[in-house]
Amino acid sequence: MYWYVIRMPMVELVAKKALERNPDIGLDVVDLIVLLWMYSNPYDSHRRQLSSMRNILKMSETLQTPGGGLDISEEEITQIVLGSLQKLKNRKLVYIQSAGVHYIKGTLTESGIKLVHDSVRTPILKRVTAEFGNNP
């Protein structure tokens, strides 16, 4: 098995910085990565599919081992994303659309968009959107 280090995505850096500034936000870094990942897709009304959310989490240092690799299965990553989406849904920050277990799409609510705007400065949001805004 080969291990490699992946550069931390901008969305993860922003999520960690937002948590530093707002420790009482009630979300963890994975929740904020998922929330910001949906926000960064303005071309599709702040939506992302499950596969896209899994992919961004695979790149995040938050889920990597200290050596830089992943030590969790695809199913475990899926469960992490679904747990985060459920938490965000319970807080009325996202809508979840699904058709069976293979097609799941999360969409930010107005409350979710407001939380992002309140937690992250505009210039940083523009950088996140510029870097990831065209990846459905």
CATH of the domain at 66: 1.10.10.10
Percent of the chain with pLDDT over 90: 24
Number of helices and strands (H, E) in the chain?
6, 3
**pLDDT number for residue 4:** 44
The tokens describing 131, both together, are 């870097």
Q: What range defines the domain where residue 23 resides?
A: 10-132
The whole-chain average pLDDT of the chain stands at: 81
Coil, helix or strand at residue 99: strand
Question: pTM for this one?
Answer: 0.82
The total number of structural domains in the chain stands at: 1
The pLDDT tens digits for 81-112 are 989 999 999 999 999 888 766 678 888 999 99
73 assigned to some structural domain? yes
57 assigned to some structural domain? yes
Determine contact, residues 39/107, Cβ cutoff 8 Å. Answer: no
At residue 69 the predicted structure's pLDDT band, cuts being 50, 70 and 90, is confident
